[in-house]
């Protein structure tokens, strides 16, 4: 039996034992031990080495074992230890350690040959003994023993500080004490070189491992490392020794630096000595001696001096720190909505350091805007983006990016372009199935122009009459409406338009003309039950209309034969249905498209279009040219029951004045009208018999032999003198075109009398407080106006408008100026002037012209150029052309022409919108071959 025991003196007692039985033992060193050999053990033995990675193996030379046969029972063998345990060392924390003991004897059991200790600790260290005992025998047991040593790697008990400062010629002790099993040895290094303590008299290593340096010198400055080493491992620690009792020396001073406000900066320099790490708010003195400022402020800019000082001297170095104010967008672009055709402006206000150059980049929906190549887009020096002639393609998200050495920034804004709504689509009129004399009108909702619809306006044309407003405010969400109260036998046609905050859009297509069934279309029947009656008054007929009339007798058997037809016209009359005996009235529609043109110094040609016959209300017997309105209608000497009316002769007499007609009536009470006719020399009249504190409408018109002229009218309250009117307010601009705009406004105080004229003034081209205001338009005799179209404007021109209102007392102060707008572009109105053509050679002609004045460009100057058209004057050959892109060019040589041939040449100007009129044609002939140019 094999026993393994730990010596009794181990204070921790026995440890776990693991006895491994083996009939044949292979030791830890791969030695084969055959115990208690017998004859069958004889044979050849060899060992084979196998590589588990690749399967290779090697086999040794065989060894022959011979076992002598004694021929009888063997004598008992006393126990012997063949492989004794060996002294073993292991590092604490190893997974396990094994000690081996192989014994031989007669009848020995095949176990207890190895002792394995898992996770050995220091307490497992000691002397372990192996005992071989032969059971049931008095043979003395055999023992052998070995030591187990559990090692621990070095650990520092005391370490030096990371930085040690000492004065020259002093003594410094640098501690370094470590523990471990076995106790570690201490070795010192300076700047990675071994400190040979035995050879350096100023260096002494104490028993606890600390290093003592006497008589410090400047060269002792450096990195000192302490290494602790034993059989279980090694550990190291270090410190930086600075010998400071020498004069400071800054080897590389700090450099001038520039930084953006809010960022960090390090002012770095190299030094021999430094005082260590010091930290204040935002300022940190690093161990290297560099100064860290984080974050920087504008106030941190200035000169920084690094001052190194000790008892031996002072050294210093300086650097300038420049702190740039961070570039920021402080006034970002705002989401905005503009009317189509107007200008959109997006600001991008930036604050930045004045020493920094700022660059603006605008993007639309993530793509960079090509400002240089798009004439409608302009970027001003302050970074604001201006887009003229806006349209739906300009809708999107715009990003202003600011790039500079002082930092970058960006902001976004969305642009929405509003426009007039489109015309309602697919209008259809059908007869109502639920309401008599009614029509259902349906339509499809149109595009709203990027602005919610406010209402629809429905217009109707009855019997081909001019369009009139039937419903001025139809629900914008509606797509159908019922038109009631229609008259049978009349035809109707409808159209409608949508209105948003920009204005009124185009009208839809007209519906098909719809005629209600019923009388008097076809024949209308009247029954006369009295056989003695032989006449009948037909009433409620249509004015100036031809009727067919037939008469037939009837009895109880049925209807007889009709008489032959007779026809008769109703008399001329007004718009209302009248009996046949009604008296004639005047036409209800004036002539249209009236134009006047001076043909010479004494003649003016008038042209006009005749009114539609259906509104003549009779037979058109001719036209009359009547006077214009009287001038400067005014009231004075106003009493409770009378007042004096004054006026001046009309500016347009259109003949010899024969007198004046003056009428007055209480406001909106036509039955109180009083009319007087006055001689042509009378320019004032006192109206009497008035009621006190009553508002009257007073009209004055000039008369010629052709009839009454245009009426001038005004309202006045008896006993209440009129006053100067107030200024209009709330000017708005819409429907901006090349040559017109629509002004909306709110009238000001009327001065207790009606407004006779509206005056529009404008600043043209250059807008500002000191610029001149010009009178550009007047609207007369429209006292209830709330909007007007201002015509005759110049294309592609900046305008700012203001208004005044005029009554009989005078003119009001001006309103506040409107916003600045730019009219749309239009093709040029005029052709180049002074076009001349001269012979240049046998195959060329020299063409010259006067370029358009800038005010006639009618568009972006960069798009203005000239087109030249030329061809043979006899009409043979092709007509050719050439484009000149330079707007200030004034000449061109036409090449590759035929010899001695006359050519016809014209020039026109163009811009981005279109081309203007052609100039008058000029003729020129190329030279004959062989001739020379005249001097």
Query: Does residue 518 register a pLDDT over 50?
Result: no
Residue 84 to residue 143: CA distance in whole angstroms:
9
In the chain, pLDDT over 90 holds for what percent of residues?
36
CA neighbor of 456 nearest in space, from 484, 421, 502, 419: 421
| pLDDT mean over 215-240 | 89
Query: Does residue 923 register a pLDDT over 90?
Result: yes
Predicted pLDDT of residue 247? 67
Enumerate residues 6+ apart whose C-beta is below 8 A from 572: 543, 544, 584, 585, 616, 617, 618, 619
Which CATH fold would you assign to the domain 1-8+78-152? Immunoglobulin-like (2.60.40)
What is the CA angle 205-208-214, rounded to 5?
30
Assigned token pair, 99: 């000690």
Q: CA separation (Å) from 269 to 7, 272, 289, 665, 706?
A: 68, 10, 7, 102, 107
3-state secondary structure of 394: helix
Residue 461 to residue 514: CA distance in whole angstroms:
10
First to last CA, the chain: 147
Q: What is the pLDDT of residues 530-561, one digit of tens each?
A: 878 788 888 766 666 667 788 888 887 888 88
Q: What is the pLDDT of residues 725-769, one digit of tens each?
A: 999 999 999 889 999 999 999 999 988 888 989 999 999 988 888
| Band of residue 109 on the pLDDT scale cut at 50, 70, 90 | low
Q: What is the pLDDT of residues 799-812, one digit of tens each?
A: 999 999 998 888 99
Query: Does residue 911 register a pLDDT over 90?
Result: yes
Residue 131 to residue 81: CA distance in whole angstroms:
8
Query: Does residue 935 register a pLDDT over 60?
Result: no
Residue 175 to residue 183: CA distance in whole angstroms:
17
What are the extents of the domains in the chain?
Answer: 1-8+78-152, 159-244, 257-324, 341-418, 425-516, 535-572+590-619, 630-693+706-718, 729-822, 833-925
CATH code given to domain 257-324:
2.60.40.10
Predicted pLDDT of residue 269? 60
Residue 52 to residue 439: CA distance in whole angstroms:
103
Top-confidence residue, 525 or 322: 322
Residue 412 to residue 325: CA distance in whole angstroms:
23
In the chain, pLDDT over 70 holds for what percent of residues?
88
Query: Does residue 890 register a pLDDT over 70?
Result: yes
Predicted pLDDT of residue 523? 63
Enumerate residues 6+ apart whose C-beta is below 8 A from 770: none
Residue 556 to residue 554: CA distance in whole angstroms:
7
| pLDDT mean over 471-493 | 87
CA neighbor of 474 nearest in space, from 495, 451, 490: 495
For domain 341-418, the CATH superfamily is Immunoglobulins (2.60.40.10)
Assigned token pair, 142: 């055999």
Q: What is the pLDDT of residues 115-128, one digit of tens each?
A: 888 888 888 889 99
Predicted pLDDT of residue 273? 39
Strands 163-166 and 233-243, bridge-based pairing: parallel
For domain 630-693+706-718, the CATH superfamily is Immunoglobulins (2.60.40.10)
Q: Torsions phi, psi of 614, nearest 5?
A: -65, -15
Query: Does residue 1 register a pLDDT over 70?
Result: no
Assigned token pair, 602: 């004494």
Top-confidence residue, 631 or 108: 631
Enumerate residues 6+ apart whose C-beta is below 8 A from 756: 633, 712, 714, 780, 781, 783, 806, 807, 808
| pLDDT mean over 414-432 | 89
Enumerate residues 6+ apart whose C-beta is below 8 A from 591: 608, 609, 610, 611, 623
CATH 2.60.40.10 is right for the domain spanning 729-822: yes
| pLDDT mean over 676-703 | 91
122 CA to centre of own chain: 76
Residue 149 to residue 89: CA distance in whole angstroms:
5
Predicted pLDDT of residue 456? 94
Assigned token pair, 251: 């080897």
CATH code given to domain 159-244:
2.60.40.10
CATH code given to domain 833-925:
2.60.40.10
Predicted pLDDT of residue 586? 61
Q: Do domains 1-8+78-152 and 341-418 have the same CATH topology?
A: yes
3-state secondary structure of 75: coil
Q: What is the pLDDT of residues 130-168, one digit of tens each?
A: 888 877 777 788 889 999 888 888 989 999 999 998 887
Residue 920 to residue 901: CA distance in whole angstroms:
20
| Band of residue 244 on the pLDDT scale cut at 50, 70, 90 | confident
| pLDDT mean over 720-727 | 88
Residue 935 to residue 929: CA distance in whole angstroms:
17
* 425-516 to CATH, choices 3.40.250.10, 2.60.40.10, 3.40.50.1820, 3.40.50.261: 2.60.40.10
Enumerate residues 6+ apart whose C-beta is below 8 A from 716: 635, 638, 643, 695, 696, 698, 722, 752, 753, 808
């Amino acid at each position: 039996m094999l026993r393994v025991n730990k010596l009794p003196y181990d204070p921790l007692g026995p440890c776990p034992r693991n006895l491994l039985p083996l009939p044949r033992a292979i030791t830890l060193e791969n030695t084969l031990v055959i115990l208690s050999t017998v004859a069958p053990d004889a044979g050849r033995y060899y060992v084979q080495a196998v590589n588990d990675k690749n399967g290779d193996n090697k086999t040794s030379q065989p060894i022959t074992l011979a076992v002598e046969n004694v021929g009888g029972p063997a004598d008992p063998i006393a126990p012997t230890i063949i492989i004794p345990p060996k002294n073993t060392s292991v590092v604490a924390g190893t997974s396990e350690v094994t000690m081996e003991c192989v014994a031989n004897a007669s009848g020995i059991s095949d176990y207890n040959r190895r002792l394995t200790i898992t996770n050995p600790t220091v307490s497992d260290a000691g002397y372990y003994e192996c005992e071989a005992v032969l059971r049931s025998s008095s043979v003395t047991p055999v023992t052998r023993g070995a030591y187990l040593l559990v090692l621990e790697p070095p650990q520092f008990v005391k370490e030096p500080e990371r930085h040690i400062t000492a004065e020259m010629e002093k003594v410094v002790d640098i501690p370094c004490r470590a523990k471990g099993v076995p106790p570690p040895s201490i070795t010192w290094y300076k700047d990675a070189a071994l400190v040979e303590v035995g050879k350096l008299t100023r260096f002494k290593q104490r028993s606890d491992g600390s290093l003592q340096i006497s008589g410090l010198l400047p060269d002792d400055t450096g990195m000192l490392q302490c290494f602790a080493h034993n059989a279980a491992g090694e550990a190291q620690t270090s410190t930086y020794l600075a010998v400071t009792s020498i004069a400071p020396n800054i080897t590389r001073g700090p450099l001038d630096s520039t930084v953006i406000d809010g960022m960090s900066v390090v002012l770095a320099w190299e030094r021999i000595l430094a005082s260590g790490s010091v930290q204040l708010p935002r300022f940190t003195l690093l161990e290297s001696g560099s100064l860290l400022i984080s974050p920087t402020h504008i106030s941190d800019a200035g000169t920084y001096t690094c001052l190194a000082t000790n008892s031996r001297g002072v050294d210093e170095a300086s650097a300038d720190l420049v702190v740039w104010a961070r570039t920021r967008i402080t006034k970002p672009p705002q989401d905005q909505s503009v009317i189509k055709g107007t200008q959109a402006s997006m600001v991008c206000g930036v604050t930045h350091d004045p020493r920094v150059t700022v660059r603006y980049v605008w993007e639309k929906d993530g793509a960079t805007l090509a400002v240089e190549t798009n004439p409608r887009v302009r970027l001003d020096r302050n970074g604001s983006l201006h887009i003229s002639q806006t349209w739906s393609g300009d809708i999107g998200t715009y990003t202003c990016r600011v790039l500079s050495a002082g930092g970058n920034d960006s902001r976004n804004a969305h642009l929405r372009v509003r426009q007039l709504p489109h015309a309602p689509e697919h209008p259809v009129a059908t007869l109502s199935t639920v309401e008599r004399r009614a029509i259902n009108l349906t339509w499809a909702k149109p595009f709203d122009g990027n602005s919610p619809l406010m209402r629809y306006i429905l217009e109707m044309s009855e019997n081909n009459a001019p369009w009139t407003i039937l419903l001025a405010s139809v629900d914008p969400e509606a797509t159908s409406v019922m038109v009631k109260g229609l008259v049978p036998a009349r035809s109707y046609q409808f159209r409608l338009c949508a209105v948003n905050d920009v204005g009124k859009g185009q009208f839809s297509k007209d519906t098909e003309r719809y005629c209600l069934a019923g009388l008097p279309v076809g024949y209308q029947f009247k029954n006369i039950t009295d056989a003695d009656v032989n006449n009948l008054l037909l009433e409620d007929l249509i004015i100036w209309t031809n009727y067919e009339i037939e008469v037939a007798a009837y009895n109880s058997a049925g209807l007889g034969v009709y008489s032959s037809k007779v026809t008769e016209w109703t008399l001329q009359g007004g718009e209302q249905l009248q009996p046949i005996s009604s008296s004639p009235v005047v036409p209800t529609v004036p002539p249209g498209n009236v134009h006047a043109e001076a043909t010479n110094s004494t003649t003016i040609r008038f042209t006009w279009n005749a009114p539609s016959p259906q509104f003549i209300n009779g037979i058109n017997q001719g036209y009359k040219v009547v006077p214009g309105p009287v001038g400067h209608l005014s009231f004075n000497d106003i009493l409770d029951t009378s007042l004096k009316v004054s006026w001046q002769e009309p500016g347009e007499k259109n003949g010899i004045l024969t007198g004046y007609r003056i009428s007055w009536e209480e406001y909106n009470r036509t039955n109180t009208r009083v009319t007087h006719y006055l001689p042509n020399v009378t320019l004032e009249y006192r109206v009497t018999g008035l009621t006190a504190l009553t508002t009257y409408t007073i009209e004055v018109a000039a008369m010629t032999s052709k009839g009454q002229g245009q009426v001038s009218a005004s309202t006045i309250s008896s006993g209440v003198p009129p006053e100067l009117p107030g200024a209009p307010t709330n000017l708005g601009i819409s429907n901006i075109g090349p040559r017109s705009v629509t002004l909306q406004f709110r009238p000001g105080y009327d001065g207790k009398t009606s407004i006779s004229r509206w005056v529009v003034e404008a600043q043209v081209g250059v807008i500002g407080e000191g610029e001149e205001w010009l009178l550009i338009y007047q609207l007369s005799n429209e006292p209830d106006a709330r909007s007007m179209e201002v015509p005759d404007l110049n294309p592609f021109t900046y305008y700012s408008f203001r208004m005044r209102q005029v009554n009989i007392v005078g003119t009001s102060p001006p309103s506040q100026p409107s916003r600045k707008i730019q009219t749309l572009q239009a093709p040029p109105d005029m052709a180049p002037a002074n076009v001349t053509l001269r012979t240049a050679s046998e195959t060329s002609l020299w063409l010259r012209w006067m370029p358009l004045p800038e005010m006639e460009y009618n568009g972006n100057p960069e798009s203005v150029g000239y087109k030249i058209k030329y061809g043979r004057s006899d009409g043979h050959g092709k007509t050719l052309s050439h484009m000149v892109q330079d707007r200030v060019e004034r000449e061109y040589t036409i090449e590759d022409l035929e010899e001695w041939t006359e050519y016809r040449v014209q020039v026109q100007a163009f811009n981005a919108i279109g081309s203007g009129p052609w100039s008058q044609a000029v003729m020129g002939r190329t030279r004959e071959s062989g001739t020379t140019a005249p001097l």
